Structure 1
Amino acid sequence: MKYAVTFAEKHGGEEQSTLARQMARTKRRAKLQALALIAPLMLFLVVVLVLPIGTLLARGFDNGDAAALLPRTAEALSAWNGQDAPHEELFAALAGDLKEAAREDVAVLAKQLNYHDAGMRSMFLKLARKVRTAEAPYAPSFIEVNEDWSSPRYWRALQQVMPSVTDFYILSALDLMRDENGDIASVPPSTAVNLEVLARTFTVSASVTVMCLLLGYPLAALIARSRGTAANVLIVLVLLPFWTSLLVRTSAWVVLLQSRGVVNNVLAWLGMIDPEAPLDLIYNRVGVVIAMTHILLPFMILPIYSVMKGIPPVYMRAAASLGARPLSSFFRVYLPMTMPGVSAGCLLVFILALGYYITPALVGGPRDQMISYFIAYYANQVTNWGMAAALSIILLVAVLVLYVIYNRLVGIQRLRIG
């Protein structure tokens, strides 16, 4: 009997071990099948999203191949302290490199130097043409093109473009620069514009978020309380703007808000304004906020509505039966329960507003353009990919910082609105 029990226990343990191994293999097989199903999607996202964005952001630190184009100059500048007057070895090194460099490469380098010292592009191209026929000593030929070649000014600009990795664009995006000693300092006030643009972007985005919340919350509550056909009609009206192009909706606001537009004409007809002095509603901050609020309002309504739809009405009736007044019931019972939807809507609207480009460009004035306008300007008009990437990095980091702060204060888990 003792041996029978021992035999049964032994074989029972072996069966349990075998069953556990089979279950583990089944789980691994299911995980591999799931990975195989999402692998094409992940590959697609990496190819069309991660790699292009990563390549663009890397341009914010890319300083080009100036050292490979001007090897003698790079070696001579490495031995120069950046303070003393340039010597003949520097002139000879740069002249020798320019004689051997291709004209197309010199043009690219001249454009890059112009970022460090405005006006240097045309002067450097002129210098490249002159030194091709010059003979030693080269210093007089350089000074004949521009007297500042006898000072450290232009040599410092050359020294800055030699490293393959640079912080020049990131510092410029924050209105900073490196002074003659290599220390970080503020740029002159006349050229400090990027921080103002960044502050304007966050101000407009926050204003639009607040307006969407003030308009969207009561409308979402109205839809959640409606029944049957009324609720369906309201939902369709909220979704209707998605069926219209963003450009068409923005252009419509130009027609509505202009000095002789629909809004001013109606107000004048009602006697609320002087027909000869219409309200200034377009090509300014007011027009930008109005148009962006209209476009982004559905993104605030839908998350709040989805949460309100799941709140049983019995809670408010229970609060009333316990003696709470309607206003007290709203603030102490209903509003806290809708906060996940409010948080989701505010975060969604704010992030979308940060990257708006078309609406401010059409209905805003010169001082109402947001950071996306300047990213497009550097990328498309002046082809300064370094500054476009740097501004993109600053915007991305700012959004991530706000996300971390939001998670600390509110908790990202509260965004679960389903």
Structure 2
Amino acid sequence: MSQSAALVHPKTQAIDLRAKLKKSQRSYKLKSLLLIAPLFVFVLVCFAFPIGTMLTRSVDNPDVHTAMPATTQALAAWNGKSLPGESTYAALITDLASARENGQIGALSKRLSYEIPAYRSVITKTLRNLPDSNVASKQEALIAIDSAWGEVKYWKALKQASSTLTPYFLLAALDHRVDSATGSIVKAEPNQSIYVDIFARTFYIGGVVTLLCLLLGFPVAYWLATLPEGKSNLLMICVLLPFWTSLIVRTAAWIVLLQADGLINRSLMVLGVVDAPVQLVFNRTGVIIAMTHVLLPFMILPLYSVMKSIPSNYVRAAISLGAHPFVAFWRVYVPQTFAGLAAGGLLTFILAIGYYVTPALVGGAADQMVSYFVAFYTNKTVNWGMASALGSLLLIATLLLYSVYGKLTNPNQAR
């Protein structure tokens, strides 16, 4: 009996050990989750929720169906081929009267004017002469006030705008719109097709700034990587110095330097390079110079981290085998820096296309980037849908570039 108990005992002990191990692992995971919980909540509240709200606002369309619920419901079954029935006209009169009492006319007129610019005046004129709900023929009364109520395209536009979700803002950000007559996606009018050019300008400035940062940052990073440790650390402070200065202060300093009576123009005139001051500020030249200065450290640091890990004896070995020093550098050393080049270039480009302060202060009207128009629609015109649509497209471009950046900086993740 005791012998049987002795044989069972090791198994029981192993089961107890496994149970204790699982309990210990659960306790460790719980403590880990509790430690990262504040960070998770912070990211969720301050990052994920605002971005999710922005993405939602780009397709949210509450104005018409909130202000005109009865008309929206009546138009749901409308075939769109002929004028709607008398009940729809009656619902329109009721909704317009209710919207005026609730202070919703401004938002309603603004949203409908996106579909047809003349809709705002139609709503205003109708409200001034709004017929009584007891009138015999609501249809004839409204058409008598404004002939637009007798046109099918105005009703199609109203039905199109009454949906709770709309592609209007995203399409407008790509210089397209939905034709209210046919329902197909068409190009916007030439006087409204500005956003593709703005995105092209944004990517162009970002590309030029990235290229200049690469041309300036590569030799600096190489020099820092080849210097002794003490000197390299001392000079690295100069690279990191811009991070210790406010962005607005640095931008204001460039305005002082680049202005007509600034230090740079004075120096050029003293040296005889130019006879009159050169326009270097409030144009694209000033934007590119200031942004290059601000973003240069973001190019140098990834390059330096990669170059520091490259053994110097590779190039020496190539030279000892008969290669020209430049050929050895170009064919042996430079390919080993591709990861740093790509990471620094993508990081700089991602930051450049989202810049707002520097182009707004140093650039002119034709040099503003997408971020300026996001701020304009948010603060000036309070058009949240358009601001969110532009921000969403810029976010999508940034995420695509960031995914490439992540693969280049973490090659093992792609495997």
TM-score of the two chains, using structure 1 as the length reference: 0.89
In structure 1, the partner of 2:410 is 413
Moved more, 219-228 or 236-245: 219-228
Shift of 1:16: 4.1
Q: Is the 8 A contact 1:343 1:415 kept in 2?
A: no
In structure 2, the partner of 1:392 is 391
In structure 1, the partner of 2:281 is 282
Using a 3 Å threshold, how does the CA distance of structure 1 residues 111 and 187 change in structure 2: closer, same or farther? same
Shift of 1:128: 2.5
What residue identity is the alignment partner of 1:54? G
In structure 2, the partner of 1:112 is 111
Q: Is the 8 A contact 2:70 2:91 kept in 1?
A: yes
Cα distance in 1 for partners of 2:263, 2:84 equals 67
Identity value in percent: 45
Shift of 1:120: 2.9
Cα distance in 2 for partners of 1:286, 1:88 equals 62
Q: Is the 8 A contact 2:258 2:264 kept in 1?
A: yes
What residue identity is the alignment partner of 1:49? F
Could you tell me which runs of 5 or more consecutive residues in structure 1 were left unpaired when the two chains were aligned: none
Shift of 1:190: 2.1
Using a 3 Å threshold, how does the CA distance of structure 1 residues 257 and 9 change in structure 2: closer, same or farther? farther
Shift of 1:79: 3.3
Query: Aligned ranges for residues 148-227 of structure 1 at < 5 Å?
Result: 148-179=148-179, 180-227=181-228
Cα distance in 1 for partners of 2:241, 2:252 equals 17
- Is 2:317 the partner of 1:352? no
Moved more, 185-194 or 10-19: 10-19
SS across alignment from 2:376:
helix
Residues paired across the two proteins, number:
410
Shift of 1:298: 0.8
Using a 3 Å threshold, how does the CA distance of structure 1 residues 132 and 52 change in structure 2: closer, same or farther? farther
Q: Is the 8 A contact 2:346 2:401 kept in 1?
A: no
In structure 1, the partner of 2:30 is 32
Cα distance in 2 for partners of 1:17, 1:370 equals 65
Question: RMSD between aligned alpha carbons?
Answer: 2.7
SS across alignment from 1:185:
strand
Shift of 1:238: 1.1
In structure 2, the partner of 1:66 is 64
In structure 2, the partner of 1:336 is 335
Cα distance in 2 for partners of 1:322, 1:35 equals 56
Shift of 1:217: 0.9
Moved more, 279-288 or 35-44: 279-288
In structure 1, the partner of 2:298 is 299
Q: Is the 8 A contact 1:86 1:150 kept in 2?
A: no
Q: Is the 8 A contact 1:340 1:414 kept in 2?
A: no
Q: Is the 8 A contact 1:86 1:151 kept in 2?
A: no
TM-score of the two chains, using structure 2 as the length reference: 0.89
Cα distance in 2 for partners of 1:6, 1:266 equals 100
SS across alignment from 2:177:
strand
In structure 1, the partner of 2:46 is 48
In structure 1, the partner of 2:20 is 22
What residue identity is the alignment partner of 2:30? L
Q: Is the 8 A contact 1:116 1:157 kept in 2?
A: yes
Using a 3 Å threshold, how does the CA distance of structure 1 residues 82 and 412 change in structure 2: closer, same or farther? farther
Cα distance in 1 for partners of 2:410, 2:261 equals 48
Shift of 1:295: 0.5
Cα distance in 2 for partners of 1:214, 1:222 equals 13
Cα distance in 1 for partners of 2:220, 2:3 equals 73
SS across alignment from 2:104:
helix
Moved more, 148-157 or 291-300: 148-157
SS across alignment from 2:186:
strand
Shift of 1:415: 9.8
How big is each residue's C-alpha offset from its partner over 1:358-406, in whole Å with a ceiling of 9 and x where there is no partner?
1111121222111111111111111111111111111122223334566
What residue identity is the alignment partner of 1:51? F
What residue identity is the alignment partner of 1:29? S
How big is each residue's C-alpha offset from its partner over 1:60-118, in whole Å with a ceiling of 9 and x where there is no partner?
11110533432331233223333424554433221122223334122221222122222
